[in-house]
Amino acid sequence: MAEHIHRNWSITTQATEKGFIFRCRLLQQDGSCEPEIGAKAYGYFQNEAEAILAGMVWIDRQQLPDHLDGLLFDNEEPEG
């Protein structure tokens, strides 16, 4: 699992059987992520770089870039 900071969000990535997953969570002023804020988006992607990019675009535009084939799940944990 890796963590990347974009604006005031934390993007974490993790390898799963279905591909790389990203999770975006809003950072607090002290740099922590409060559990009740939770995840804002998840997605499965073929590699970690695509997952990070998708997380950054989701933060900026609240949608995924057209050229990425990942699946996006707003405010819910994907299965598996």
Give a yes or no: residue 80 inside a domain. no
Give a yes or no: residue 24 inside a domain. yes
Give a yes or no: residue 11 inside a domain. yes
The answer to whether the beta carbons of residues 24 and 11 sit under 8 Å apart is yes
Query: How would you class 28 by CB atoms within 10 Å of its CB: exposed for 0-12, middle for 13-18, buried for 19 or more?
Result: exposed
**pTM for the predicted model, two decimal places:** 0.66
Condensed to tens digits (0 to 9), the pLDDT of residues 28-77 reads 778 777 654 555 556 678 888 888 888 888 788 766 655 555 555 554 45
Q: Which domain holds residue 34?
A: 2-74
- Structural domain total, the chain: 1
Give a yes or no: residue 69 inside a domain. yes
Give a yes or no: residue 12 inside a domain. yes
Give the residue, 71 or 16, on which the prediction is more confident: 16
Give a yes or no: residue 55 inside a domain. yes
The whole-number pLDDT of residue 70 equals 53
Give a yes or no: residue 67 inside a domain. yes
Q: Which residues are within 8 A (CB) of 75 and not within 5 positions of it... i.e. 6 or more apart?
A: 38, 39, 40, 41
